[in-house]
Structure 1
Amino acid sequence: MNDEPKSISIKDIAEALNISIGTVDRALHGRRGVSEKTKTRVLKTAEQMGYKPNLAAQALKLNRRISIGVVLPKHISYFFDPLRAGIRAAAGAAMGSQISLEFHEYPRIGSGDIEALEAAHARKYDGLIFLPGDIQRFSPLIRKISRSGTPMMCVGSDAPDTGRIGSVSAHAYISGSIAAELLAHKLPRKANVAILTGELSTLDHAEKLSGFAATLAIQAPHLTLMPTLEGHEKPKEAYRQALTLMRQKDRPEGLYLSTANSIAVIEALEELGLLGKVQVVATDLFQDLATLIKSNKILATLYQRPFTQGKVAFENLVAYLTRGNLESPVVQLAPHIVLRSNLPLFASRISETDEGEPESDSLE
């Protein structure tokens, strides 16, 4: 249950009084076109509902620059570099010099992330975009920053019930379900399958596991899911765990790599001579992975559209700063399935840095 106080917007006041948003806005800001009676009603209702004016929105109207801080890990570059590029592209298209944008980096998820977010908060930005890692560790800090009046926009994963204003990510549960269905089609007989993930304390990874396990149970009861392995976004640990897993007598015939940090696992498979023999569904897209898909050594990958995630996260944060609310706070993008047959369609998106992608559909 969300115990955070609801942020009251101009739209909420308008609905409570059954009048237009424009009328409420004029009344709150003392502009012409509103009778004294209506103005009194609006101000009284706003006070009763606990409305607080959006300072960042006021700054935009007064032509004062507003500042946005972005706190993201440096590793994994395959995912976070294009995500940052999407934020930069959106910033470049929005309101010119009225918005300042600053990036803060930390080594990897679980290493320096809390400290980086605390440091960004100390800079007193008008809004923050960040990746919530370990929910248990992050939640108290997100609540603290949200209560201080700084809008928090999650990207790449979510932190519900923390006071954050919204989130943008690939639909994690659906991603896991797709991976399970793909493996079910390629493994029609009894076999073991396994999932190697990053951090199950991150909601995105936990949801992928849930979707994967549930779909296997319903659509592929002949496939046995082995215990989940967490690489903790550390390549050496993922490599070691993959070697141990694949050396077992009852090793899995199918693998779902639910994190973009997949190269270490692929290297372990290659070392054991199993690359191309074990069915692998990976996550995201980069040149080495594309080469493996093209040569039939990897079955497929689920592209999480990082450029679009960054772009939409920035646009939604700015929308909140200017309007005080969001019509769709939680945006879950439909993951793209990349197979050998449609790989050429994604050629322009294979990059570690700044390749983008066009707008397209999403799952709300």
Structure 2
Amino acid sequence: MQNTAGNAGIKDIAKALKVSIGTVDRALHGRPGVSEKTKARVLQMAKRLGYKPNLAAQALKLNRRVSIGVVLPKHISHFFDPLRAGIRDAAAATVGTMVNLEFHEFPRLGAGDGEAIEQALQRNYDGIIFLPGDTRKFDLMVRKITRSGTAVMCVGTEVPSTDRIGSVATHAYISGSIAAELLALKLPHKANVAIFSGELFNLDHAEKLRGFAATLAVQAPHLTLLPALESHERPEEAYRQALTVMQGSDRPEGLYVSTANSMPVLRALDELGLLGKVQVITTDLFHELVPFLEFGKVLATMYQRPYTQGKVAFEGLLAYLRREAVPQRVVRLAPHVIFRSNLSIFSNQIIETDEELDIALLEA
């Protein structure tokens, strides 16, 4: 006889529907591996039987150990180091759960990332945080990981249409749009502009280009966008591309470097005597970039808030693993736009967290 006294458990629901306990558990807690039709049947039966979560069991689960693997590139350090710091600090702040946190590195996006993910997968983590480079390559990989029972949280960019539990990144389209509007204001006459990207198969980079191009078309039809330059996050390639485009007959008067790989481009401009003569918008903030902003050689930089990205990604993944909440599928942080005029708010705190930068902005 089915339990109808208001204290039905997962076993009762499974028995009533003739499905496995695991299927019921996944449906009740919003985890992947169960169809929407089955989920609806489980929830309907749970309501009918008066199912209530076992709070004592949940309390015990809060004290269990969870293992989380973090797979990120080594290059570019001034973006990925604070991202890792955000993850570490969020892990250190956890209460009620023992977290085993392990970091895996690979040289750069597109070089060794697949192998690093495969190695992490063999560790049977409860969850994995990683930044997918080529979304085409990792589409099947994410599905493979989630089918193995490991929850996946993307950071820095996204692999849409997969079973990843969520993604955290700065709003890429808006970043590109802001960069285009700034160049439109500084270049009111006919001119060429160019964008330096990393890898356009990366959704974040593609969205920046899309936002940049769309805003130029609407707000600055007098500006001509040259073909995008993909450096694949290789400094030497970005340097050569910058020399070539700036020595060409269609030399741009405005540049948007949409990745943190901006120093090679600035070095090429310096060697050609064009620093300060070309309007440049970069990405992120680090010590080497500060003088270029201070002396007006760079118009602005789009700060992607890597520390906060890492912190929010970890917190969302842990809440999911602890069954406290289903994380927001897509989190898009607003970029910070840094000029020479507001650089002082940020420059003394580059080595600190950008959560503290948020506080500084509120107090300024």
Instruction: Give the equivalent residue in structure 2 for 1:250.
Output: 250
1:165 equivalenced with 2:137 (yes/no): no
Which amino acid is 1:335 matched to?
A: P
| Secondary structure, aligned partner of 1:323 | coil
Distance 1:110 1:60 in 2: 41
Question: Quick one: percent identity of the two aligned structures?
Answer: 62
Whether the 8 Å contact between 2:63 and 2:96 is mirrored in structure 1 is: no
1:52 equivalenced with 2:50 (yes/no): no
Whether the 8 Å contact between 1:59 and 1:66 is mirrored in structure 2 is: no
Whether the 8 Å contact between 1:276 and 1:297 is mirrored in structure 2 is: yes
User: 1:231/1:36 Cα in 2 relative to 1: closer, same or farther (>3 Å)?
Assistant: closer
Which amino acid is 1:176 matched to?
A: G
Q: CA deviation at 1:39?
A: 8.3
Instruction: Give the equivalent residue in structure 1 for 2:38.
Output: none
User: 1:65/1:327 Cα in 2 relative to 1: closer, same or farther (>3 Å)?
Assistant: closer
| Secondary structure, aligned partner of 2:318 | helix
Distance 1:163 1:244 in 2: 42
1:71 equivalenced with 2:71 (yes/no): yes
Distance 2:107 2:11 in 1: 52
Distance 1:109 1:46 in 2: 46
Distance 2:90 2:24 in 1: 29
Distance 1:71 1:327 in 2: 20
Q: CA deviation at 1:139?
A: 1.1
Distance 2:267 2:8 in 1: 73
Q: CA deviation at 1:40?
A: 4.3
Q: Which structure 2 residues correspond to residues 278-317 of structure 1 after superposition, within 5 A?
A: 278-317=278-317
User: 1:104/1:126 Cα in 2 relative to 1: closer, same or farther (>3 Å)?
Assistant: same
Q: CA RMSD in A?
A: 2.7
1:34 equivalenced with 2:6 (yes/no): yes
Distance 2:64 2:326 in 1: 22
User: 1:63/1:88 Cα in 2 relative to 1: closer, same or farther (>3 Å)?
Assistant: same
Higher RCO (CA-CA < 8 Å; seq separation 6+): 1
Whether the 8 Å contact between 1:348 and 1:355 is mirrored in structure 2 is: no
Q: TM-score, with normalisation over the residues of structure 1?
A: 0.84
Q: CA deviation at 1:47?
A: 4.2
Deviations 1:70-92, CA, capped at 9 Å, x for gaps: 00000000100000000011001
Distance 2:182 2:201 in 1: 26
Instruction: Give the equivalent residue in structure 1 for 2:320.
Output: 320
Size of the aligned set, in residue pairs, is 328
Distance 2:107 2:126 in 1: 25
Whether the 8 Å contact between 1:157 and 1:168 is mirrored in structure 2 is: yes
Distance 1:46 1:300 in 2: 61
Instruction: Give the equivalent residue in structure 2 for 1:151.
Output: 151
Distance 1:95 1:225 in 2: 51
Whether the 8 Å contact between 2:308 and 2:355 is mirrored in structure 1 is: yes
User: 1:60/1:157 Cα in 2 relative to 1: closer, same or farther (>3 Å)?
Assistant: farther
Which amino acid is 1:239 matched to?
A: Y
Distance 2:317 2:161 in 1: 18
Q: Which structure 2 residues correspond to residues 105-144 of structure 1 after superposition, within 5 A?
A: 105-144=105-144
Distance 1:229 1:72 in 2: 24
Instruction: Give the equivalent residue in structure 1 for 2:355.
Output: 357
Q: TM-score, with normalisation over the residues of structure 2?
A: 0.84
